[in-house]
A = this chain, B = another copy of it.
């Protein structure tokens, strides 16, 4: 194999496929990037068996071929080479020579035949949205998936399509995040659970531009993201997602409108009195025109008042401050509305059209 690519094109593509290179694996071949120039285009592929990424690089093929190179070493070499054309040449003994200007690297490769190629996926059903929207919706929900694998379903996010609406849901047993997106076209009903890790890595590669499109394909076992020169294939989490409808209620006893930044800054300040390990709640007293927030810990105490517009009853309720912070951070509105029932019932933060709903369970506390 002998190929020539510009450093910048090659580095961009290498950075993309690096997202699916596992940091620890018992299969050394998975620590490689496959360079496939066996046909008329140069493709880089990585695959950790859950998630696989393939991307095309612009360049010239002087001699067709295929090789797998250690991803970490290869990416570091490319990163540090001068901004010029890079030549990658391999011989029959799988030795790769990487040349750029007067610099010449020699590293050993592995046979492309040993590489674990991406699964073949029939791409029939697809939806289209902007890369900006997908990147945003991941950011706005990914924080409330569960980190540990005890309940596999909680480590993923529900992607549900109904006509021209995409609904994304994540939950971890203490809170639920829901975002609804209006699509340009209308599609048949689909409902899949996508691993959180896939979404995290995909969102790092997405350009985030409103004009750039991404297409999502669904099968029984896989989801495929196609955008720019890149294809991401991920397994789905199998099984039935949680029935969340029964947890959502539009009844409330107290409705509060409050400036988002004031509330977020106040809770953020309060958390510095709480160590990650101890579970001190922030206690919120809602009266007619003011919300009073208090926290008490071994380190000290804080209280602060924020002006609000209130409908309904007064209420005294406690929350894990982290959960409020996570939700408030991803809401872009200047003012937010909180709906509360009683100190044991979940609090809802949502907009009128319910394009977002954040449900947070309260915690017990002693005054």
Beta-carbon contact of A80 and B300 below 8 Å: no
Tell me, in angstroms, the Cα distance from A257 to B276 when the chains sit together.
Answer: 56
Beta-carbon contact of B268 and A303 below 8 Å: no
- A102 touches which one: B81, B104, B272, B305 (CB < 8 A)? B305
Known: A82-B265, A265-B82. A272 touches B104 (CB 8 A): no
A213: min CB distance to chain B, Å: 37
- Residues from chain B with Cβ under 8 Å of A301 in the complex: 105-106
Tell me, in angstroms, the Cα distance from A70 to B301 when the chains sit together.
Answer: 14
Name the interface residues of A92-114: CB closer than 8 Å to any CB of B.
Answer: 102-108
Q: Classify chain A: how many residues form its interface, as a range.
A: 20 to 34
Is A160 among interface residues, defined by CB-CB distance under 8 A? no
Is A121 among interface residues, defined by CB-CB distance under 8 A? no
Is A306 among interface residues, defined by CB-CB distance under 8 A? yes
Tell me, in angstroms, the Cα distance from A70 to B272 when the chains sit together.
Answer: 13
Is A345 among interface residues, defined by CB-CB distance under 8 A? no
Beta-carbon contact of B105 and A300 below 8 Å: yes
- Residues from chain B with Cβ under 8 Å of A300 in the complex: 73, 105-108
Minimum CB distance partner of A268 in chain B:
B80
Name the interface residues of A290-308: CB closer than 8 Å to any CB of B.
Answer: 299-306
Is A76 among interface residues, defined by CB-CB distance under 8 A? yes
Beta-carbon contact of B80 and A306 below 8 Å: no
Beta-carbon contact of B73 and A304 below 8 Å: no
Beta-carbon contact of B104 and A303 below 8 Å: yes
Is A248 among interface residues, defined by CB-CB distance under 8 A? no
Is A325 among interface residues, defined by CB-CB distance under 8 A? no
Minimum CB distance partner of A103 in chain B:
B304
Minimum CB distance partner of A298 in chain B:
B108
Tell me, in angstroms, the Cα distance from A268 to B107 when the chains sit together.
Answer: 17
- Residues from chain B with Cβ under 8 Å of A81 in the complex: 269
Known: A108-B300, A299-B73, A300-B108. A103 touches B266 (CB 8 A): yes
- Residues from chain B with Cβ under 8 Å of A106 in the complex: 300-302
Known: A107-B300, A108-B300. A269 touches B102 (CB 8 A): no
Beta-carbon contact of A80 and B269 below 8 Å: yes
Minimum CB distance partner of A304 in chain B:
B103
- A302 touches which one: B104, B302, B303 (CB < 8 A)? B104
Is A77 among interface residues, defined by CB-CB distance under 8 A? yes
- Residues from chain B with Cβ under 8 Å of A104 in the complex: 302-304
- Residues from chain B with Cβ under 8 Å of A306 in the complex: 102
Minimum CB distance partner of A306 in chain B:
B102
Tell me, in angstroms, the Cα distance from A306 to B104 when the chains sit together.
Answer: 12
- Residues from chain B with Cβ under 8 Å of A304 in the complex: 102-104
- Residues from chain B with Cβ under 8 Å of A82 in the complex: 265
Tell me, in angstroms, the Cα distance from A279 to B81 when the chains sit together.
Answer: 23
Q: List 5 A-B contacts (CB under 8 A).
A: A73-B300, A77-B269, A103-B303, A104-B302, A104-B304
**Lowest 5 CB-CB distances: which A-B pairs, in order?**
A107-B300, A103-B304, A80-B269, A76-B272, A106-B301
